[in-house]
Amino acid sequence: MLIICSQQAFAHLLHDPSSVSSSHPFSNPPTGSTRRLHRTRRNLGSHRHDLLVALRIVNRIEKEVVEAEFENWLLDETHKCSKVGALLEEAGGKGKEKQLEDWVREYCGDCKTSLERVEKATRGFL
């Protein structure tokens, strides 16, 4: 005859309350407390699932907010670039202005390219 300690018996009940058999001399059919425990654990599992779904939604919203802010930042930067570009054209391309113009052209070109990619991706969602 197999002797099961109380903690093992309880753990067995946790995993499969219907498997309690009459082969164990002191085993009883699932009691009210066993049913209550399983109902509570089922409810906790449901709450856990709801929380995970809510966290996924929050993460998606945060990602969309960051992407929107990046797009707004790119719009601001490209607007600034157009102003700086106009000022550089007025100043002409001499000496240090030429170096500055090259840097602005590279930076602003990167901003424009990034903005085009973001706008293209946004159009794909619509």
pLDDT tens by residue, 14-71: 777 665 554 455 555 567 888 888 899 999 999 999 999 999 999 999 999 999 999 9
Distance between CA atoms of residues 9 and 76, nearest Å: 67
Residue 33, classed as helix, strand or coil, is: helix
Q: Does some domain include residue 9?
A: no
Contacts of 75 (CB under 8 A, 6+ apart): 115
Q: Does the predicted TM-score (pTM) go above 0.75?
A: no
Q: Does some domain include residue 17?
A: no
Q: Does some domain include residue 5?
A: no
How many domains does the structure of the chain reveal?
1
Distance between CA atoms of residues 46 and 105, nearest Å: 56
Q: Does some domain include residue 88?
A: yes
Q: Does some domain include residue 35?
A: yes
Distance between CA atoms of residues 71 and 79, nearest Å: 12
Domain that includes residue 117, residue range = 28-125
Distance between CA atoms of residues 37 and 32, nearest Å: 8
